[in-house]
Structure 1
Amino acid sequence: MTVAVVGGGIIGLSIAWRLVSRGADVTIFDDGVDGAWNVAAGMLAPGGEAAFETPALVGLMKASAERWPSFASSLGVDVGYDEAGTLGLAVTADDVASASREWSTPPLRPSELRELEPALSPRVRAGVYLPADRQVDPRLVVAALRDRLADRIVAKRVSTLDEVDATTIVVAAGCGTAALTGLPVRPVKGQVLRLRGEPGLIRHVLEATVDGRSVYIVPRADGEIVVGATQEERSDWTVTAGGVYDLLRAAVELVPDLAECALAETLVGHRPGTPDNAPLLGVLREGVLVAAGHFRNGVLLAPVTADLIADLALGGPADPMLDDFAPGRFA
């Protein structure tokens, strides 16, 4: 049995890695275009998304979060898996009123928050600590997967599935899935910043509402700090002054010391969205599976997607978790 995976991003590579570990003969077709994973912050926080997603998707995210420790360990190298947790924060009274509707625990006082995160601005009024949240560095994950699968990756842009000769084809092409399958996957633009500061400036992932703006700040162990992200129903690749300004203003309002950091990168990525912003997972037609449309949860959902799609590709029964994510649900 041969399996072809069309797409060399974190979803396609994770599926291929799981298949190879189970003895399958796998070829990955990679068009060389970095997908959403390249700009993703790598937050593994299913609880933080619970207010925005359906119960079925929240269940899928929680199942995947539980698999991340073993998935990261299986790669055999440091991929930035971090267990420091997340602080959910609000700055103004209006921000507190808005954010508190999503908090599942009583808010902490500003003094308690600054004990956990000394760099926080005195303007922060309230917040919660989410110790179960995790993060990972998607760039390190993809680099590790590419290293382990190097002899199976073919540099090729697949224009039609008729070009692919395999027993089973897995389409995991992100925003490119629409052209290959006709499924409704659209690009949702996001602008992200990468700063460079002193390691340890920020201890936790910060998710905040600042003067009505949502912002996240994700610190890496080496001093890199990811600030994101805008969400725009656009497909262009332009980094805009307004997008950078909004992100920097909110970030510096939250952590004033970020103003002294170097602005290392300004980036644009495109989240692969669907009409209901839930992924497309499962059988499209005989011999063709789909794993796409993960929107803003691609990194989080990589391990569970790999397991569920690998089971199908190897002839196993469909897991009930797939029921709500069938690729044909929009037909």
Structure 2
Amino acid sequence: MHVAIIGAGIIGLSTAFELRSRGCEVTVIDPDPGQGASRAAAGMLAPAAETTWGHGILHELLGASNQAYPDFVQRIEQATGRRPDYLQNATLVVAAEPADRDALHELVQLQTSLGFSAQTLLPSAARRLEPALASNIAGAVRCAGDHQIDPRSVVAILAGHLDAQLVREPAVELLQRAGTTHAVRTGSGRIIEADQVVLAAGLGTVAGTPELPLRPVYGDIFRLQGPAGPRLLTHTVRGIVRRDPVYLVPRADGSLVLGASSREDGNEAVNIGQMHKLLDNARRLVPGIVDCSLNEVIARARPGTPDDRPLIGRLDDGMVLSTGYSRHGVLLTPFGSSLTADLVLSQPPHAEHARAVDPARFSGGSAPDPAGLSRAEPSRTDPSRLAPTRMELHP
């Protein structure tokens, strides 16, 4: 089977990798692989720290995908000879002030009710783990199962691995025959025929795509170089500062990713106000960042949906959609690539998970069911579906 995949971010490339591992021929179409939302993403694999009231089954999907990551990384390394920058370094969620500590305690209640690991720490205990934390923090929680990966390393490895299958042109039109997508027209006029087409272009528009409930959610991201000597941080630090979120993600080379802005103002450029707030809040938690140097500041838009769950499902007999991952795109990569491959190959996926991300949930209808989804039992995730040796549902 030949599958054309539109979009070479972390989702599109990982889906191509998954389909190739299942015996498919793939073509990936993107004029600038890896330069969209994946370029800016910090790569926090933090289902516990990302917990939010009202997200329902999304918690389950995040936990399941996080469980799949060790095997996902191992498979990439075995296939390419290169290992993504994956660190199982735990996450500290830190409250700056007493009012923020109250929010932290509410978060812990939700985390423990969902079965996530969350250890409440006194400020002194948190500073023993991370001496760079400010002396006047109000409290902290350690999420041992929340890790990180550098999305740029994943994209670079997979883009290199799939280089011969990359078409570095824009996809401008989906071509249909009798209501079934069968080909993609590129910017040069080239027509790429395929047995199946996967649309994983994030917010990219392609003629012939149905209207989707997506909106651009912008994030401003700093990349800092830590001062000489020991690394400033070893844990990922997510902070609550006057109820505003901020995060600092340490990389193995001593650099840090600083972020957490979220805006829907339509401005593609970096926002100065958000930059100031992020730096000020980060300095409040980790005063030593004032000794860092600036490597990069960028802004990117993530494709958001009304319920923050992605849109993964069959749109017609020749096309599967995989987009709308919002801020969870990196964490949901093993889940999304595996489910998309199941749908492409008409292999029955986990029914409850597939329904949770079905694009038809916003239209009140139901998508085509060539994979037998409606007949699949909504049981616990089959470990072989997401990660052949390690995947299990996070309780």
- TM-score, structure 2 as length reference: 0.81
Residues 130 and 151 of structure 1: is their aligned pair in 2 closer, same or farther, counting only changes over 3 Å? same
What residue in structure 1 maps to residue 180 of structure 2? none
Q: 1:234 maps to what in 2?
A: 265
| SS in structure 2 of the partner of residue 111 of structure 1 | helix
Structure 2 contact 222–298 (Cα < 8 Å) conserved:
yes
2:135 pairs, out of 90, 104, 122, with 122
Q: Report SS of the residue matched to 2:49.
A: helix
- Count of aligned residue pairs for this structure pair: 331
- Residue 55 of structure 1 and its aligned partner are, at CA, apart by 2.7
| 1:328 is aligned to 2:341 | no
1:102 aligns with 2:134: no
Note the 1:197-276 alignment, pairs <5 A: 197-198=226-227, 200-276=231-307
* Structure 1 CA distance for aligned equivalents of residues 331 and 10 of structure 2: 10
Which segment is superposed worse, 194-203 or 291-300?
A: 194-203
Structure 2 counterpart of 1:82, one-letter code: L
Superposition deviation, residue 317 in structure 1: 2.2
Q: In structure 1, how many angstroms separate the alpha carbons of the residues matched to 2:242 and 2:361?
A: 38
What per-residue deviation string (whole Å, max 9, x for no partner) do you get for residues 142-163 of structure 1?
0011011111010111122122
Q: 1:92 to 1:178 in 2, by over 3 A?
A: farther
Q: Distance in 2 between matches of 1:248 and 1:3?
A: 44
Contact 1:2 1:166 in 2 (8 A): yes
Instruction: Give the conservation status (yes or no) of the 8 Å contact 1:177–1:183.
Output: no
1:4 aligned residue:
4
Q: Deviations over 1:249-274 (max 9, x none)?
A: 01111111100100111110111101
Three-state SS of the structure 2 residue aligned to 1:4 is strand
Q: Displacement of 1:177 after TM fit?
A: 5.3
After the TM superposition, which of the residue ranges 197-206 and 128-137 deviates more from structure 2?
197-206
In 1: Cα distance, 2:18 partner to 2:350 partner? 16
Number of the residue aligned with 2:43: 42
* 2:86 equivalent in structure 1: 81
1:63 CA displacement: 1.3
1:176 aligned counterpart, secondary structure = coil
Q: Which is worse superposed, 161-170 or 215-224?
A: 161-170
Residue 111 (structure 1) aligned to one of 119, 124, 133: 124
Alpha-carbon distance change, 109 to 241 in structure 1, aligned in 2, over 3 angstroms: same
Shift of 1:294: 0.2
Determine whether 1:283 maps to 2:326: no
Aligned identity (percent) is 40
Aligned residue for 1:63?
64
Query: Does 273-282 or 291-300 show the bigger shift?
Result: 273-282
The amino acid of 2:148's aligned partner reads: Q
Q: Determine if contact 1:29/1:155 at 8 Å carries over to the other structure.
A: yes
> Does residue 308 of the first structure (1) align with residue 321 of the second (2)?
no
C-alpha distance 31-184 of structure 1, shift in aligned 2 (>3 A)? farther
The answer to whether the Cα contact below 8 Å between 1:178 and 1:184 also exists between their aligned partners in 2 is no
**Regions of 4+ moved over 4 Å:** none
Instruction: Report deviation, 1:32.
Output: 1.1
CA contact (8 A) 2:96 2:136 kept: yes
- Larger RCO: Structure 1 or Structure 2 (Cα < 8 Å, ≥ 6 residues apart)? 1
What residue identity is the alignment partner of 1:42?
A: G
Equivalent-residue separation in structure 2 for 1:241 and 1:284 (angstroms): 40
Question: Following the alignment from structure 2 to structure 1, what is the Cα–Cα distance between the partners of residues 328 and 142?
Answer: 21
The residue identity in structure 1 corresponding to 2:355 is D
Report the Cα distance in structure 1 between the residues aligned to 2:232 and 2:206, rounded to whole angstroms: 42
CA distance in 2, matches of 1:216, 1:53: 22
Which shows bigger deviation, 121-130 or 180-189? 180-189
Root mean square deviation of aligned Cα: 1.5
Structure 1 range deviating more: 73-82 or 40-49:
73-82
Structure showing the higher helix proportion among its residues: 1
Could you say which residue in structure 2 is the equivalent of 1:172?
A: 200
**Post-superposition shift, 1:50?**
2.6
Contact 2:311/2:325, CA 8 A, preserved across alignment: yes
Q: Does 1:184 align with 2:184?
A: no
Alpha-carbon contact 1:177-1:292 (below 8 Å) kept: no
The equivalent residue for 2:96 is 91
2:146 corresponds, among 110, 133, 148, to: 133
Q: Contact 2:220 / 2:275 at 8 angstroms: preserved in 1?
A: yes
Amino acid at match of 1:172: A
SS at match of 2:313: strand
User: 2:222 corresponds to which residue?
Assistant: 193
Q: Is the 8 A contact 2:94 2:139 kept in 1?
A: yes
Seen in structure 2, the aligned counterparts of structure 1 residues 125 and 219 have a Cα distance that, compared at 3 Å, is same
The normalised TM-score by structure 1 is 0.96
Distance 1:231 1:274 in 2: 14
Please state whether the residue corresponding to 2:145 is helix, strand or coil. Answer: coil
CA shift at 1:276, angstroms? 1.6
Secondary structure of the corresponding residue to residue 15 of structure 1: helix
One-letter amino acid matched to 2:174:
L
